[in-house]
């Protein structure tokens, strides 16, 4: 087996050992661990039916759930898209794991949230390959924050493998490249970065299958102009699917994602079995005038999307909800998607840190009722029971797994 960290995890976990050599449709249910966070969040809930129900499940045995999706693994505390991050997510019962897919200079597919994020997710700025960065490190001045931009498309796979993963962060006040690598959010940690291992997309398939999980790769928008060295967008979309086919992974175990509707339509037209579960990531929030409570501003006709073969759609959490009389309720966007027969997946729980100040971007539509961390479960409950989402991406999957197990999802 390629990954030493996985070997250690398999030795420690009966469920993971059971998964090795099995198909990803077999779901191990023992040896998982919620850890202390679900109970911590449940205790913060106001008295009522939700708190009573979740407390009643305190003694339940954790089970892997397809409702619980590891967002880049478990990056609340582990470097994203690393072996360690995904082993942790699987150990928390995430039934689906994510590799965000981009490509290197020699057109190899690797797991990376963006083609141009190496300056915040690796040590490239202090490595032998700092000179390859599209924008070399520029120190902060009194008027201008520090900046840099480094792309996988500027280095080969062999060079990529020499980089050391770190928590996604940057110190914009930095005067040196080494200092720029800091800036970790105070609610995260760098305790688990030492020796963390990056992955190619093909290696992620090997790992996730060994962990007993299914797959949701996201084809990331290139930072370079396409075609790139003769590599077209269609070539890119096809190559990602081809790596699942080469590994013998059934299409029913894969939810391929893209913000680019043309990618989704390409899979529907050219790889119809994979296209059935292709996920259109909706970024309507980037369009001027968009209002998730006003159907007249929606840029997509959901009925038309469904007629073209799109079955899954995934907006950020806040687009799915609004507040009515200080209560969370489904938004007009959510109702329209439901009425069109679209299955909804959403992102990203546990990415916001402490919620006492309103929760930031992911909670913007319910900020007026977001006063503490209990909102993680209050929002999740509305999304699951009223919006009827099919899956939740999370930076700490144990929170979602506990809820899914308790509610029978």
pLDDT of residue 21: 32
Distance of CA 317 to the CA centre of its chain: 13
Q: Which residue has the tokens 């897919």?
A: 101
Specify the pLDDT at position 3.
Answer: 58
Helix (H, G, I), strand (E, B) or coil at 50: helix
pLDDT tens by residue, 343-384:
999 999 999 999 999 999 999 999 999 999 999 999 999 999
DSSP 386: I
| pLDDT (0 to 100) of residue 31 | 84
Structural domains of the chain, ranges and CATH numbers in brackets: 4-105+198-407 (3.20.20.190), 113-180 (no CATH)
pTM: 0.94
Strands (E), 169-320: 214-215, 218-219, 257-258, 279-281, 312-314
Q: How many CB atoms lie within 10 A of CB 43?
A: 12
Local structure of residue 168 (DSSP, 8 states): S
DSSP 292-315: TT-GGG-SS-HHHHHHTT--EEE-
What residues of the chain score a pLDDT lower than 70? Answer: 1-30
pLDDT of residue 19: 36
What is the C-alpha separation between 222 and 300, in angstroms, rounded?
Answer: 23
Question: How many other CB atoms are found less than 10 A from the CB of residue 26?
Answer: 11
């Amino acid at each position: 087996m390629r990954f030493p960290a996985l070997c250690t995890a398999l030795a420690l976990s009966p469920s993971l050992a059971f998964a090795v050599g099995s198909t990803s449709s077999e779901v191990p249910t023992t040896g998982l661990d919620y850890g202390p966070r679900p109970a911590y969040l449940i205790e913060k809930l106001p008295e009522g039916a939700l708190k009573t129900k979740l407390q009643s499940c305190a003694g339940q045995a954790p089970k892997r759930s397809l409702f619980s999706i590891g967002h880049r693994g478990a990056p609340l505390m582990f470097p994203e898209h690393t072996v360690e991050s995904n082993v942790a997510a699987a150990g928390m019962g995430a039934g689906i794991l994510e590799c965000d897919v981009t490509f290197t200079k020699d057109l190899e597919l690797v797991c990376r949230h963006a083609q141009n994020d190496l300056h915040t997710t690796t040590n490239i700025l202090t490595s032998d390959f700092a000179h390859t960065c599209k924008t070399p490190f520029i120190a902060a001045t009194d008027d201008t924050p520090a900046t840099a931009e480094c792309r996988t498309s500027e280095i080969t796979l062999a060079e990529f493998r020499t980089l050391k993963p770190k928590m996604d962060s940057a110190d914009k006040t930095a005067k040196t490249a080494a200092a720029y690598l800091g800036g970790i959010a105070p609610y995260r940690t760098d305790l688990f970065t030492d020796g963390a291992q990056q992955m190619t997309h093909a290696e992620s398939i090997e790992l996730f299958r060994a962990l007993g999980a299914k797959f949701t790769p996201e084809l990331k928008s290139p930072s370079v102009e396409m075609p790139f060295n003769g590599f077209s967008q269609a070539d890119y979309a096809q190559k990602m699917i081809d790596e699942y086919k080469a590994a013998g992974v059934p299409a029913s175990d894969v939810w391929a994602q893209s913000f680019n509707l043309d990618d989704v339509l390409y899979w529907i037209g050219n790889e119809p079995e994979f296209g059935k579960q292709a996920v259109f990531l909706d970024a309507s929030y980037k369009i001027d005038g968009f209002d998730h409570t006003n159907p007249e501003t929606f840029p997509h006709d959901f009925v038309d999307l469904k007629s073209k073969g799109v079955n899954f759609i995934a907006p950020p959490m806040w687009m799915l909800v609004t507040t009515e009389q200080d209560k969370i309720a489904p938004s007009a966007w959510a109702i329209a998607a439901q009425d069109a027969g679209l299955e909804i997946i959403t992102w990203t729980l546990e990415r916001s840190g402490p919620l006492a100040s309103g929760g930031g971007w992911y909670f913007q539509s319910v900020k007026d009722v977001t006063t503490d961390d209990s909102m993680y479960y209050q929002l999740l409950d509305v999304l699951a029971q009223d919006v009827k989402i099919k899956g939740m991406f999370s930076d700490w999957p144990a929170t979602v797994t506990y809820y899914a197990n308790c509610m029978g999802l």
